[in-house]
Structure 1
């Protein structure tokens, strides 16, 4: 069809395409705000949070805003080096490295040592020792590190041994150590002190003893080895060295294709109230590493201080019976 007198059809610029002449498809009208008001709950246009650069991202090394728990890489000066889990030499989360979820911090509890509130909400603890690649390749013993989780797999604490190279490789599993335990805020909530002592039944006067402090500097209990000709037996004591619970293990603490169970019993050994279990982790891991997994069960209403001492007993059991490196 031929149109004359300049009546040729003209392209429709479209409401949403102003500034782009020649477009022949309809656009969408831009959002209008004829009243000029700002909806409640929304910041004004161009709003910039204080302390943040343009774009809304925190500057490198910025602290977590108030109301958010610090990440696992935030530690405090004076703590041991926990690598990616806290301490002054910690590293931020690296791309491609999975990060376990931390257990939410509970509300403070009266007369409870700070940091032990987590234990009031659980009746089971999983202790997973980390595999040290350098130790596997070279055979030199390194400081042990453990992840402490609840039954849901959420990390509750992280524990790291503090020791020197000479003590680790000369004394083997009988070495003295300081074990530092931190929570998800990066603060040290527990400290375990194991002095150098004998564990053989032929020396009943110098058996193993582990001191548990929470917070560091305040003793809340002890784990003491009891003399017995063939059974591994321990006593859980309070800060005044009064007996609270007993622990009895099997005659042969061997984890060959099966779990090894240490029964937690009442003070008079008349009933079983819990258990410390060394879990079987498979032939490869058992043969080539000394990284062990443990499970600790106890009553939910047990005193949090006693729960913390049972956690210390788990570490002592690991060193005495399952730390095979340099055990010659």
Structure 2
């Protein structure tokens, strides 16, 4: 492969002066803002012989390193009142959330901090999410743990912050009748400004949640299947309904089947979130927060450590 004099080879790190434009790629695997590589859109970069690809890609063993991730171009300014950084959400009606596989978790029982890449339907990275939690909380409380999820844009600015409190019980939807037992996530955008809440609702079997605005007014309802089973080779759908009539479907949170190795031996999951293009960006951000809550409650445990 040859390069022109005005093009930098992908193996040479450079400082990007115009982040977010097509042809600017982030570091392989990481997806985090910072050091970047310049190339042509769609260009495939070859890896080094003998490199191991991460489980959940093409398999385990020696393979060619996948191409780095391309960022979504920064859109024009959002509508009046749009929180900084959420203007990306005005351009999309679907967000794909892909959890990164932690090799330490794969070979040990050590619970690591979760990291996610948030992509649009074209595979361009929109945001990067990273969990902040205490080590003792992760190892002892596992899926019930409290955490702060920092969601950053391609400049490294934190545009969404999710706060989840610890709950000692999650194996029954009945317990959600008590507010101190109901699982909840607080969504801030920007940091320090609450734009909505996701709260578990009591139910007999099927998991239910309510999406509320900053005034705790019900906006949307989420209902999952009666049996939420990890490891089943199929997608699991949580439908989103309007709170106006409780029946009109306006979106969906879908746990997408990865592959057999990923589902059986890791807790890394893939989700797709769909919503109307013209939905308030604040509610889109809260729906993303709902996805993380559902992930932790039903799919975070590896090797079918799930509940119904």
TM range (shorter): 0.7 to 0.9
Name the counterpart of 2:50: none
Check conservation: 1:84, 1:91, Cα contact below 8 A: no
Is residue 81 of structure 2 the alignment partner of residue 134 of structure 1? no
Check conservation: 1:129, 1:292, Cα contact below 8 A: yes
Q: Which is greater in Rg?
A: 1
Taking structure 1 as the reference length, the TM-score comes to: 0.73
Distance 2:103 2:90 in 1: 35
How many residue pairs match? The answer is 261
Within the candidate set 128, 135, 152, 1:165 is matched to 135
Name the counterpart of 1:202: 175
Name the counterpart of 2:296: 319
How far is the alpha carbon of 1:269 from its aligned partner? 1.4
Distance 1:108 1:175 in 2: 37
Distance 1:321 1:68 in 2: 36
Check conservation: 2:31, 2:128, Cα contact below 8 A: no
Distance 1:84 1:304 in 2: 23
Within the candidate set 58, 82, 87, 1:117 is matched to 87
Distance 1:72 1:62 in 2: 11
Change (3 A) 1:317 1:151: same
What do the CA deviations read for 1:99-150 (whole angstroms, capped 9, x no partner)? 1111100111221001000111111111111111111011211001111001
What do the CA deviations read for 1:53-112 (whole angstroms, capped 9, x no partner)? xx999xx998544x55597769xxxxxxx96613xxx65559846311111001112210
What do the CA deviations read for 1:182-212 (whole angstroms, capped 9, x no partner)? 0111111000000112433235212011000
Name the counterpart of 1:150: 120
Distance 1:269 1:210 in 2: 21
Is residue 238 of structure 2 the alignment partner of residue 265 of structure 1? no
Is residue 54 of structure 2 the alignment partner of residue 85 of structure 1? no
List gaps (5 residues or longer) in structure 2: 1-5, 38-44, 48-64
How far is the alpha carbon of 1:171 from its aligned partner? 0.2
Name the counterpart of 1:100: 69
Check conservation: 1:172, 1:325, Cα contact below 8 A: no
Distance 1:115 1:317 in 2: 24
List gaps (5 residues or longer) in structure 1: 1-54, 75-81
Change (3 A) 1:165 1:214: same
Q: State the SS of the aligned residue for 2:127.
A: strand
What do the CA deviations read for 1:221-242 (whole angstroms, capped 9, x no partner)? 0001001121100000000100
Distance 2:7 2:226 in 1: 62
Distance 1:160 1:290 in 2: 15
Check conservation: 2:165, 2:185, Cα contact below 8 A: yes
Give the 5 Å matches for 1:36-75.
64-65=16-17, 67=18, 69=20
Distance 1:64 1:261 in 2: 39
What do the CA deviations read for 1:267-303 (whole angstroms, capped 9, x no partner)? 0312111110001112211100010000111111100
Q: State the SS of the aligned residue for 2:203.
A: coil
Change (3 A) 1:171 1:241: same
Check conservation: 1:173, 1:325, Cα contact below 8 A: no
Distance 1:158 1:68 in 2: 14
Distance 1:152 1:254 in 2: 29
